[in-house]
Amino acid sequence: MHRLVTLIERIVAAIGRAGSLFLPLLMVAILVNVFSRYVLGIGSIELEELQWHLNAVAVMSCLAWAYQRDAHVRVDALHARMSPRQKALVELFGTAFLLFPFLWYVTGSAWTIFEYSWKLKEGSPMPSGLPARYIVKFVMAAGLSLLFLQGVAILLRSLLTLFGRRHMAE
């Protein structure tokens, strides 16, 4: 189980790091769009859609990594006072009864939406917009699937803390 958790977390971290590299590109796209719109008076649908796509890639590829690194929102006033065993119990039940059911529904829907978009070869509804909108829909479905996979790693790590190798949770 330890090897599986380590493998999942390495994959998630690698994808998260790669996804974070899209943030500087997003900032450049925003700056170019703002400059061209407000200084040059030239609006660009392509740049606006590019911002949306780059943001989706960055967020969806880093979502699972943020969960792995415990950089997500949580009630720290309670969590900080808990023992490692109590934290493992909260993670176990939270993952099993809140995260997984939510992700099961949302991820399934995201893959269905991607499949439909792929079959249509969906592009932007704007004449000058970006083609291949199905790519960003794939990224969203894949990011949610990666979050599900990280949830599996968190669940396994919690089980190891509760029923065995406690050093895994640290």
pLDDT at 169: 46
- What is the span of the domain harbouring residue 135? 2-72+81-169
Q: What is the pLDDT along the chain (170 residues), one digit of tens a residue?
A: 889 999 999 999 999 999 999 999 999 999 999 999 999 999 889 999 999 999 999 999 999 999 999 887 776 778 888 899 999 999 999 999 999 999 999 999 999 999 999 999 999 988 888 899 999 999 999 999 999 999 999 999 999 999 975 454 44
The per-residue b/e assignment along 92-128, b for 16 or more CB within 10 angstroms, e otherwise, is bebbeeebbeebeeebeebbebbeebeeeebeeeeee
> Do the beta carbons of residue 124 and residue 118 sit within 8 Å?
no
Q: How many helices and strands, by DSSP H and E, does the chain display?
A: 7, 0
The number of folded domains in the chain is 1
pLDDT at 165: 57
pTM of the full structure: 0.89
Q: How far apart are CA 136 and CA 118, in angstroms?
A: 11
Q: How far apart are CA 135 and CA 139, in angstroms?
A: 6
DSSP letters, 66-135, are HHHTT-S---HHHHTTS-HHHHHHHHHHHIIIIIHHHHHHHHHHHHHHHHHHHHHT---SSTTS-S-THH
